Structure 1
Amino acid sequence: MHFKVILRVIGLLVMVFSVSLIPPIIVSLIYSDSALNAFIYSFGINLVAGFLLWLPVRRERGELKIRDGFLVTVLFWTVLGFFGSMPFFLAEMPALAFTDALFESISGLTTTGATILTSIDDLPKSILFYRQLLSWLGGMGIVVLAVAIMPMLGIGGMQLYRAETPGPVKDSKLTPRIAETAKALWYIYATLTAVCALGYWAAGMTLFDAICHSFSTVAIGGFSTHDASIGYFDSVAIEMICTFFMIICAFNFALHFYAWRHKSVWHYLKDPEARFFLFILSGTIVLTALVLAMTSTYEWDKAIRYAVFESVSIATTSGFGTADFSSWPHFLPFLLIVTSFIGGCASSTGGGMKVIRILLILKQGLREIQRLIHPSAVIPVKVGGKAIQERVVSAVWGFFSAYLMIYIILMVGLMATGLDQVTAWSAVAATLNNLGPGLGDVAANFAGIGDAAKWMLCFSMLLGRLEVFTLLVLFTPMFWQK
């Protein structure tokens, strides 16, 4: 592997990331809050550290290979989680310990939305803005943004793109050049963010809240500037806007690219993954509304309102809240958490295992039933009328197996720290699926759990964001062999 080239890339990207600390500095100056020095110091530390990493290897050149791409991606998210935690650690408010600051930083960057903060409404505006900005940068992936500028840095970006992009098929490009693909994705992402912010503002949010919530909505991050999340506004219009953009951003962004390029929207309904995703959402909403109304938890109008928002929020792994779903009757809390395992579509900002993988697993299961009847028949797995390669099907099963094993190991690890079964089960689901809220002791926030549990959940968030294999491959001996 080209370790000097990798070090040069990391140094450059850390310096690029330091620029993201300028907007919070501006916000701090506007609102004259107490976090100004924390952001100035953090900006200087990031910039100097990146420069010192880059300086000794500044003349190194070379194309990144597959293994280089995996290592850069994992290092970038872990290193960035560390450097991103500095404003939380240095600020007088919220005055976090290092573990808590790191947890909050990684949660934002991975768009998990799990928080250890309380009394969020009272925090400095710049800290609130920075949390949302971290989520927004992590939504599309800072690595994908970096790929867009790689040609200017003299570094090939294809391996980074393949390592970072979610979904079972990672070789497809929207445009002939990978840098153009990254730019196209970020143009769409930024446009959706701007439209979402304008919608929130028009619906009654302040300009600050509108911008902040547009960041975490489009990123499907779930961070809010208020303890009560979207429920703080108690506005049907705001909830409808939020619901719409959560669904839109849980679609495959290739569909948005096609809509932008061809000025058409009919392909959304023709896409099998999008149709299956909408089917899951619809079924969850109907079942949730019926249970809430028939158990007299809410009147019919509120039952439908809360069912729509919470079902979409949890299923897309956004994690916004308008009601405490953890206290809902019967199986509803469990059901909603389970939907987060499915998550959004491939190449979306959503978390979970991705809809296309679940669809392929179901079709593979159906094929095995058919083979019991016709043992000698050749029955391909098809999606949208097209046969899926056996290599892809087996890779999906491998991913599913690894996901399940990691989930069990992490849950047992959390229970070993003293957490009860419900808290441990939901905490792993909330972090591995990049969802945010859980059940039990982590229903409101993660402040009450121990440091050991928080470190394990940081690892879980990174696993979920990097789709398990990208991180686990570094722990295999074969990866480090020449």
Structure 2
Amino acid sequence: MNATNVLHMLGRFFGLFSIPSLLCAVWAFSNDRYQQASLFILVVTVSAVLGAVFLVSSSSKNLHKAGLKEIVAFLTAVWGGMSVLGALPFLMLTQSDPISALLESVSCLTTTGTSLVPPDTVLPASIIAWRGILHITGAMLAISGTLLLVATQSSVGQGLRRLQAIGIWTRLNFASFMKIFLISGAVLLALFLLCFNTLLFEGLPLRDAFALAVGAITTGQVFPYDASILNGTMFSGTVICVTLFFASINLANILMLIRAPQRARIDIETIGILAGMLLLFVLIYAAHPQLGSLASAVHAFSIVSTSGLLLSPDDAHLLGWPVIIFFGFVGGATASSTGGMKFFRFRLLAARALHEFSRLAQPKAIQNFRFSGMRNPVEAMLSVWVYLIGFACVTVMIAGYLALTGMSFEASISTAVGAITNSAALFHVENMNLTPNPVTKLILTFSMLFGRLELLLLFSLIIRN
């Protein structure tokens, strides 16, 4: 592995991250929050120093030759560094408890949205902005990191051919990570402005409009809200649903609409996610007509996108935990704010199951299994099964530990799955009837990173490489 390449890219990233950190520091200082401002200044200083040191000590000459090991090392380092830096401004809220601050930071970065801060705590504007910045940065990292990993392993499937059609695929490499990162940020910013301005126009306070808009574009929760906050509005619920849908689909589809609308078409992932949202909407509305069509739609889109946005713990029982857990595992498309490879794996397993049924019906026929341009992808199938088995084992171990701490069976399963799938619809603080001890906080923190980074997949790729 070429460590120089990794250090150079880390220097670029931390140097860029110091800019929004400085804005939060200025905001806190202008509101006479001097202690809070000093923590932001510490983040700015550390980010700028790290960026300068890494850039000075490295070179960008061989970035185009970087491979899988460099990408995995960079992603692991940047997620770990961001988690620590993001925790610093939360130290005042957590009474200088570094473990609780780290959990808050990781929860924001992974766009899970769970917070251990008491709900009646009045947060300064700079902290609200900081939570939003961490959510957006985490979503951008998830999208660009997934694109790089997929581009390194395969040039077909998972939306990459669509990127190639509009001229972006040729720039999908380690050297252009920052460009991919900023492109994803521009798309998220456009979605944010659409949702934010609509919420403001319909009379929501600035703080609530900002939190809901960021939560919608990142499929997470900046703060937990109830659907009743949209009472009296006409378009806000619809705009939030549309934003959650676009945040859950592949970035390639959105870029195709922007850069080459004449070539735009609906792919299988987009159809599957939209079908899941509409199906769940019909089920919720049929089972609970008293909610109304708009609230039912918001709940359905929130569950399928794993955001948990505008979904209270009581609302989570609308269709029972098994349904919500299922959508937590399926999640959104590859290279989306929802992140991960969840829906792609589900498609692959479903396609393979249909192929096996076809072979049972015609046992003597010669049938080749093809999927997204791949013929007989045996290695892909084995990796999917191994990943799911490992994923289930880790989930069971975490749920077992949480049950030993005093959680009920349902709460322990829900919390474990919610943490690993970064689903705020499942990961509710209210389920923790006891104050989490430091070990529990660390386990939940690692679980959220484990799910967002998909560590099993990264390790398997490195070993195979």
Is the shorter-chain TM-score for this pair beyond 0.5, marking a shared fold? Answer: yes
SS in 2 for 1:350: coil
TM-score, normalising length: structure 2: 0.84
Q: Is the 8 A contact 1:351 1:464 kept in 2?
A: no
* Paired letter, 1:247: F
Determine the structure 2 residue equivalent to 1:362: 350
- CA gap of 1:434–1:242, structure 2 versus 1, over 3 A, is same
The aligned counterpart of 1:344 is 332
Please report how far the alpha carbon of residue 352 of structure 1 lies from its aligned counterpart in structure 2 after TM superposition: 6.3
Structure 1 residues 40 and 314: CA distance shift in structure 2, 3 A: same
Q: Distance in 2 between matches of 1:416 and 1:423?
A: 12
Please list every run of 5 or more consecutive structure 1 residues that lacks an aligned counterpart in the other structure: 148-157, 294-298
SS at match of 1:135: helix
Deviation at 1:96, TM superposition (A): 4.8
Change in CA separation of 1:111 and 1:380 when aligned onto 2, cut-off 3 Å: farther
Cα displacement (A) at 1:208? 4.3
String of CA shifts for 1:145-198, please: whole Å, max 9, x gaps.
9x9xxxxxxxxxx96785799x97486544122336555433322222222222
SS of alignment partner, residue 28 of structure 1? helix
Conservation of the 8 A alpha-carbon contact between 1:21 and 1:39? yes
* Of 351-360 and 452-461, the range deviating more from structure 2: 351-360
Post-superposition Cα deviations, 1:270-324, rounded to whole Å, max 9, x if no partner, equal x22211222222222222222224xxxxx2xx24333221221121011212543
1:107 correspondence with 2:107 = yes
- Map of 1:238 onto structure 2: 236
Q: What are the equivalent positions in structure 2 for 1:288-367 lying under 5 Å apart?
A: 288-293=284-289, 299=290, 302-325=291-314, 328=317, 331-351=319-339, 354-367=342-355
Cα-Cα RMSD:
3.4
- CA change 1:283–1:2 in 2 (3 A) is same
| Aligned-partner SS, 1:114 | coil
Contact 2:321–2:414 at 8 Å: present in 1 too?
no
1:281 corresponds to: 277
Summarize the Cα distance change of 1:220–1:446 in structure 2 as closer, same or farther, 3 Å threshold: farther
Name the structure 2 match of 1:153: none
Query: Secondary structure of 2:288's match?
Result: helix
Structure 1 distance, partners of 2:325, 2:285, is 16
Provide closer, same or farther for how the CA distance between residues 306 and 445 of structure 1 changes in structure 2, counting only shifts above 3 A: farther
- 8 A contact 2:302–2:311 mirrored in 1: no
1:388 and 1:417 map into 2 onto residues whose CA distance is 48
What's the counterpart of residue 421 of structure 1?
409
Given that 2:22 and 2:44 are in contact with CA atoms closer than 8 Å, whether structure 1 keeps it comes out as yes
Instruction: Tell me the CA shift for residue 82 of structure 1.
Output: 0.9
Per-residue CA deviations over 1:67-110 (Å, capped at 9, x if unaligned) read 12111111110121011111111x3x453511111011111111
Q: 1:155 corresponds to which residue? A: none
Q: 1:92-241, aligned counterparts within 5 Å?
A: 93-119=93-119, 122-141=122-141, 144=144, 162=151, 169=158, 173-174=163-164, 175=168, 176-178=170-172, 179=176, 181-224=180-223, 227-228=224-225, 231-236=228-233, 237-241=235-239
1:2 aligns with 2:5: no
Deviations 1:451-478 (A, max 9, x none): 212212222211221234354349x777
CA separation of 1:472 and 1:431: change in aligned 2, threshold 3 A:
farther
Residue 23 (structure 2) pairs with residue 36 (structure 1): no
- How far, CA to CA, are the matches of 2:87 and 2:148 in structure 1? 27
Residues 114-150 of structure 1: per-residue CA shift (max 9 Å, x gap) = 22122366111111110011001111217839x9xxx
Question: What is the letter of the counterpart of residue 77 of structure 2?
Answer: L
Matched with 1:296 is: none
Q: How far apart are residue 248 of structure 1 and its match?
A: 1.4
Specify the alignment match of 1:67 in structure 2: 69
Sequence identity (%):
20
**Structure 1 pair 265/343, CA: closer, same or farther in 2 (3 Å)?**
farther
In the alignment, the residues of structure 2 paired with residue 352 and residue 7 of structure 1 have an alpha-carbon distance, to the nearest angstrom, of 25
Alignment partner, residue 410 of structure 1? 398
**Offset at residue 351 of structure 1 (A):** 4.3
User: Which segment drifts farther, 174-183 or 453-462?
Assistant: 174-183
How far apart are the structure 2 equivalents of 1:37 and 1:457?
28
The CA distance in 1 between the partners of 2:53 and 2:433, in whole Å, is 35
CA distance in 1, matches of 2:434, 2:376: 45
Q: TM-score, with normalisation over the residues of structure 1?
A: 0.82
Matches of 1:17 and 1:325 in 2, distance apart?
A: 38
Q: Which residue of 1 aligns with 2:423?
A: 435
Q: Distance in 2 between matches of 1:31 and 1:447?
A: 35
CA separation in 2, counterparts of 1:142 and 1:52? 25
Q: 2: distance between equivalents of 1:277 and 1:380?
A: 27
Gaps of 5+ in 2: none
The CA distance in 1 between the partners of 2:350 and 2:394, in whole Å, is: 21
In structure 1, C-alpha distance between the alignment counterparts of 2:152 and 2:452, rounded to whole Å: 11
Does residue 461 of the first structure (1) align with residue 459 of the second (2)?
no
- Tell me how far apart the structure 2 counterparts of residues 453 and 308 of structure 1 sit (CA, whole Å): 34
Residue 14, structure 1, aligned to residue 20, structure 2: no
- Cα deviation, residue 368, structure 1: 1.4
Q: CA deviation at 1:394?
A: 4.0
Q: Write the distance in 2 (CA, Å) between the matches of 1:161 and 1:51.
A: 30
1:375 corresponds, among 360, 363, 385, to 363
Q: Check 1:23–1:231 CA distance in 2 against 1; reply closer, same or farther (3 A cut).
A: farther
The AA in structure 2 aligned to 1:68 is: E
Asked if structure 1 preserves the Cα contact closer than 8 Å seen for 2:215 and 2:309, the reply is: no
1:324 is paired with a residue of what secondary structure?
Answer: coil
- Cα shift at 1:242: 1.1
Map of 2:260 onto structure 1: 262
CA shift in 2, pair 1:115/1:437, >3 Å:
farther
The 8 Å contact of residues 143 and 336 in structure 2, kept in 1 or not, is answered as no
The CA deviation at 1:358 is: 1.2
- The DSSP-based 3-state class of the residue aligned with 1:267 is coil
